[in-house]
């Protein structure tokens, strides 16, 4: 599982142990945060939506901390802010590696400390390549050629190719075992709509993970979401949980 | 023997599609499977032109030329269904998100190779559409076909002679004579129509068959 991000994505590979993808519920609503993160194994790759704190599924992350899975590889744009959410997951010592584009922020002290003391591995990816690699995983592509990063430290040792007189870097998809994302509204088939700029990585992470868990502000009846504006079709979502206390 | 007609074949396929499955029914014969899905079973039909949660054909006065399936026939959308663009639609197909696709075939090989897009005949105009994405990306690829051509040759063959749609992709064949699984061990005959023996079936098909142990 450690090598997963650098391995061409095989969408037909068997499910990780302890999970049976065939045993799906047509009612994807789960009743608790605990149930929402059940089955995340040690060593899993977990995508976490959000850009900074916008769209960060804080309640799902808290549930993952309580659940206790360790040795995780986390995919997020950042590496935690302050002491809550992703930073708290890092602080709990559950993360072995983080794949992100911008870990260093004014309030990323938790990550900074772990990184400087060698307690967390960092794979730094230019932000557009991060998004494109996640998208490639969801779409079943074997790799992508991207011009971003060519000739830089972040493309060192990677295959390159000249296409139409421009240089490109071969980048592999980033698939995940789980994605934890936040949306505004969802129904029992897993259809989602987001709110404002909290959409960010949600739709592409949903497609790239074998098991996508969405925390929503509101669960609505089937048919209530306008079919023209559903952003994430339910086929990409396996569990929906209503955020408590709202 | 009691050879299944096309509607009986469609009903037989429908029986094996479980609740909650995301399914793409290929154009032509597989489309007929939709008529036999039990209404109480929630099955989400995907149509590659960009809809999920496809419903039955509309009443004649409700036909909307902008609500069609992959065969360009008018359809409806169930509550909870949604629309999306072609990139997303093919991400669903290629990305391994569909549980089952049902396709027609000219030929299927013993190793699960599928030929269904081009006869390769001189003058034939090839058309592929989404067939290769479905064959490559769906978790299970069911083929629905008459087992023999009109001239009596087996469409289940050792090696396909027609151009391939995908290699090693077919998982099960639903035919008018038998249901056959394609397994790493070989071709496993799951069901025979009434009045047909395994030996008789083996004689029609030019490639070795097995019975479950």
Please name the residue of chain B whose CA is at the shortest distance from the CA of residue A24.
B20
Of A12, A25, A191, the CB nearest to B139: A12
**B66 reaches A (C-beta below 8 A):** no
Reported confidence tier of residue A50, pLDDT bands at 50, 70, 90: very high
Reported confidence tier of residue A19, pLDDT bands at 50, 70, 90: very low
Segments making up each domain of chain A, as ranges: 42-124+175-246
pLDDT at A24: 40
Q: Do B97 and A235 touch (CB under 8 A)?
A: yes
* Cβ–Cβ under 8 Å, residues A49 and A182: yes
DSSP state of A107: T
Shortest CA gap A88–chain B (Å): 32
Instruction: Please report residues of A whose CB lies closer than 8 A to that of B98.
Output: 235
For A172-196, how does the pLDDT look when each residue is reduced to its tens digit (9 = 90+)?
999 999 999 999 999 999 999 999 9
Q: Which has more confidence, B108 or A8?
A: B108
Indicate the helix (H) or strand (E) that contains B156: strand B156-157
A7: pLDDT strictly greater than 60: no
A18: pLDDT strictly greater than 90: no
Please name the residue of chain A whose CA is at the shortest distance from the CA of residue B82.
A227
Number of independent structural domains in chain B: 1
Which of A136, A233, A238 should we substitute to test contact with B (largest number of B Cβ atoms within 10 Å)?
A: A233
Please name the residue of chain A whose CA is at the shortest distance from the CA of residue B23.
A235
Which of B44, B95, B96 should we substitute to test contact with A (largest number of A Cβ atoms within 10 Å)?
A: B95
**B20 reaches A (C-beta below 8 A):** yes
Shortest CA gap A80–chain B (Å): 30
- B158 noted as active-site residue: no
Q: What is the residue-averaged pLDDT of chain A? A: 91
Residue B176 domain-assigned? Answer: yes
Instruction: Please report residues of A whose CB lies closer than 8 A to that of B136.
Output: 140
Residues ≥6 apart with Cβ < 8 Å to B173: B105, B108, B142, B143, B144, B145, B147, B156, B179, B180, B181, B182
Residue from B40, B48, B59, B73 carrying the catalytic annotation:
B48
CA distance B37 to B152: 31
DSSP state of B107: E
CA distance A223 to A191: 10
* Cβ–Cβ under 8 Å, residues A220 and A190: no
Token pair belonging to B130: 């989404």
Helix runs in chain A, H state only? 33-36, 58-67, 86-91, 109-116, 127-138, 202-208
A8: pLDDT strictly greater than 60: no
Residue B50 domain-assigned? Answer: yes
pLDDT at A86: 97
CA distance B170 to B187: 11
Residue B1 domain-assigned? Answer: no
**A227 reaches B (C-beta below 8 A):** yes
pLDDT at A246: 57
pLDDT tens sequence for chain B (213 residues)? 899 999 999 999 999 998 889 999 999 999 999 999 988 888 999 999 999 999 999 999 999 999 999 999 999 999 999 999 999 999 999 999 999 999 999 999 999 999 999 988 889 999 999 999 999 999 999 999 999 999 999 999 999 999 999 999 999 999 999 999 999 999 999 999 999 999 999 999 989 999 998
Reported confidence tier of residue A105, pLDDT bands at 50, 70, 90: very high
* Segment A226-235 mean pLDDT: 98
CB within 8 Å of chain B, chain A residues 166-225: 187-189, 191, 207, 222-223, 225
Residue B104 domain-assigned? Answer: yes
pLDDT at A11: 35
**A141 reaches B (C-beta below 8 A):** yes
DSSP E strand boundaries for A69-127: 72-75, 95-100, 121-124
Least confident among A2-6, A68-72, B88-92, B102-106: A2-6
Shortest CA gap B151–chain A (Å): 37
**B22 reaches A (C-beta below 8 A):** yes
pLDDT at A244: 85
Residue B183 domain-assigned? Answer: yes
Residue B27 domain-assigned? Answer: yes
CA distance B92 to A241: 23
Alpha-carbon distance values, A32 to A38, A63, A193, A245 (Å): 10, 9, 20, 12
What domain range is B30 assigned to? 6-208
Q: Rounding to the nearest 10 degrees, give the CA dihedral for residues A96, A101, A102, A103.
A: 0
pLDDT at A27: 87
Q: How far apart are the first and last CA of chain A?
A: 37
* Cβ–Cβ under 8 Å, residues A51 and A197: yes
Question: Phi/psi of residue A115, each to 5°?
Answer: -70, -45
Strand order in the sheet with B107-109: B114-115, B107-109, B156-157
Please name the residue of chain A whose CA is at the shortest distance from the CA of residue B77.
A227
**Domain at B105, CATH number:** 3.40.1080.10
Residues ≥6 apart with Cβ < 8 Å to A144: A132, A133, A136, A170, A171, A173
Sign of CA dihedral A88, A90, A91, A95: positive
Reported confidence tier of residue A16, pLDDT bands at 50, 70, 90: very low
Residue B213 domain-assigned? Answer: no
A22: pLDDT strictly greater than 80: no
Q: Do B80 and A139 touch (CB under 8 A)?
A: no
Residue B63 domain-assigned? Answer: yes
The highest-level CATH class for domain A42-124+175-246 is alpha beta
Instruction: Please report residues of B whose CB lies closer than 8 A to that of A24.
Output: 20
pLDDT over 90 percentage in chain A: 88
Shortest CA gap A27–chain B (Å): 9
Buried b (16+ CB within 10 A) or exposed e, A231-242: bbbbbbbbbbbb
pLDDT at B41: 85
**A163 reaches B (C-beta below 8 A):** no
CA distance B166 to B2: 32
For A131-154, how does the pLDDT look when each residue is reduced to its tens digit (9 = 90+)?
999 999 999 999 999 999 999 999
């Amino acid at each position: 599982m450690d090598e997963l991000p650098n391995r061409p994505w095989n969408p037909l590979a068997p499910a990780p142990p302890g999970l049976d993808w065939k045993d799906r519920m047509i009612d994807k609503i789960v009743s608790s945060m605990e149930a929402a993160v059940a089955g995340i194994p040690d060593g899993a790759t977990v995508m976490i939506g959000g850009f900074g704190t916008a769209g960060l599924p804080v309640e799902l992350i808290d549930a993952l901390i309580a659940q206790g899975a360790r040795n995780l590889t986390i995919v997020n744009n950042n590496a935690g802010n302050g002491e809550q959410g992703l930073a708290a997951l890092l602080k709990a010592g559950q993360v072995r590696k983080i794949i992100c584009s911008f870990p260093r922020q004014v309030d990323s002290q938790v990550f900074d400390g772990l990184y400087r003391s060698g307690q967390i591995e960092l794979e730094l990816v230019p932000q557009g390549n991060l998004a494109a690699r996640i998208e490639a995983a969801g779409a079943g592509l074997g790799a992508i050629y991207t011009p971003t990063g060519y000739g830089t430290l972040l493309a060192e040792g990677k295959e390159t190719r000249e296409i139409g007189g421009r240089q490109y870097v071969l980048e592999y998809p980033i698939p995940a075992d789980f994605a934890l994302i936040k949306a505004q509204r969802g129904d029992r088939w897993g259809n989602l709509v987001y709110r404002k700029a909290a959409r960010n990585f949600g739709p592409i992470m949903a497609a790239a993970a074998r098991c996508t868990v969405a925390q929503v502000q509101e669960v609505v009846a089937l048919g209530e979401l306008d079919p023209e504006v559903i952003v994430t079709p339910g086929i990409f979502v396996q569990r929906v949980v209503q955020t408590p206390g709202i | 023997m009691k050879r299944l007609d096309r509607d009986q074949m469609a009903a037989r396929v429908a029986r094996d599609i479980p609740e909650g499955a995301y399914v793409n029914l290929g154009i032509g014969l597989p489309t007929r499977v939709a008529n036999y899905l039990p209404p109480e079973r929630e099955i989400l039909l995907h149509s590659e032109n960009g809809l999920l949660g496809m419903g039955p054909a509309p009443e004649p006065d409700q036909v909307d030329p902008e609500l069609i399936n992959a065969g360009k026939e008018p359809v409806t959308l169930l509550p909870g269904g949604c629309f999306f663009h072609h990139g997303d639609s093919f991400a669903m197909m290629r990305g391994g998100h569909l549980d089952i696709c049902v396709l027609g075939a000219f030929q299927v090989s013993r190793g699960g190779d599928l030929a269904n897009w081009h006869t390769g005949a001189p003058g034939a105009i090839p058309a592929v559409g989404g067939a290769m994405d479905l064959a490559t990306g769906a978790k299970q690829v069911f083929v629905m076909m008459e087992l023999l051509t009109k001239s009596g040759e087996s469409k289940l063959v050792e090696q396909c002679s027609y151009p391939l749609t995908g290699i090693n992709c077919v998982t099960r064949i639903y035919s008018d004579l038998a249901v056959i699984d394609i397994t790493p061990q070989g071709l496993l005959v799951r069901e025979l129509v009434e009045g047909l023996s395994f030996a008789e079936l083996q004689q029609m098909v030019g490639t070795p068959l097995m019975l479950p142990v």
